[in-house]
Amino acid sequence: MTIATSTGAIAAAAPKLTVEHARKSFRQANGGDVAAIADLSFTVRAGEYVAIVGPTGAGKSVLLDCLLGLKTLDAGQILIDGRPVQNFVREKKGHITRIFQEDRLLPWLSATDNAAFGLQIQGVAEKDRRASAAKWLEAVGLSGFKEALPRELSGGMRQRVNIARAFAPNPELVLLDEAFSALDDVTATRLRQDFKTLAQAQSTTFLIVTHSIDEAIFLANRILVFGAPARLMAEIAVPPHAHEDRVLSDRIKDEVRTLIAAGARVH
Ligand SMILES: Nc1ncnc2c1ncn2[C@@H]1O[C@H](COP(=O)(O)OP(=O)(O)OP(=O)(O)O)[C@@H](O)[C@H]1O
Ligand SMILES: [Mg+2]
pLDDT at residue 23 in the model: 97
pLDDT, averaged across the chain: 92
Q: How far apart are CA 176 and CA 204, in angstroms?
A: 13
CATH topology of domain 1-45+56-92+211-267: Rossmann fold (3.40.50)
Nearest ligand to residue 65 Cα? 1
Helix, strand, coil abundance in the chain, percent, nearest 5: 40, 25, 35
pLDDT at residue 185 in the model: 92
Q: Does the structure show a pLDDT above 60 at 215?
A: yes
Instruction: Give the residue among 100, 101, 98 at the shortest CA–CA distance from 118.
Output: 98
73 CA → ligand 1 middle, Å: 14
Q: Which residue's C-alpha comes closest to atom 29 of ligand 1?
A: 57
Q: Phi first, then psi: give them for residue 129, nearest 5 degrees.
A: -70, -35
- Ligand 1 site-directed mutation target among 23, 25, 26, 65, most atoms within 8 Å of CB: 26
pLDDT at residue 117 in the model: 92
Nearest ligand to residue 56 Cα? 1
Task: Name the region of 70 (left: φ>0; alpha: ψ -120 to 50; beta: rest).
Answer: alpha
Q: With 0.75 as the threshold, say if the pTM is over it.
A: yes
Q: How far apart are CA 138 and CA 150, in angstroms?
A: 16
Asked if 226 and 256 touch (Cβ cutoff 8 Å), the reply is: no
Ligand 1 contact via 60 beta carbon (within 6 Å): yes
88 CA → ligand 1 middle, Å: 25
Q: Does the structure show a pLDDT above 80 at 3?
A: no
Show me where the domains of the chain are located. Answer: 1-45+56-92+211-267
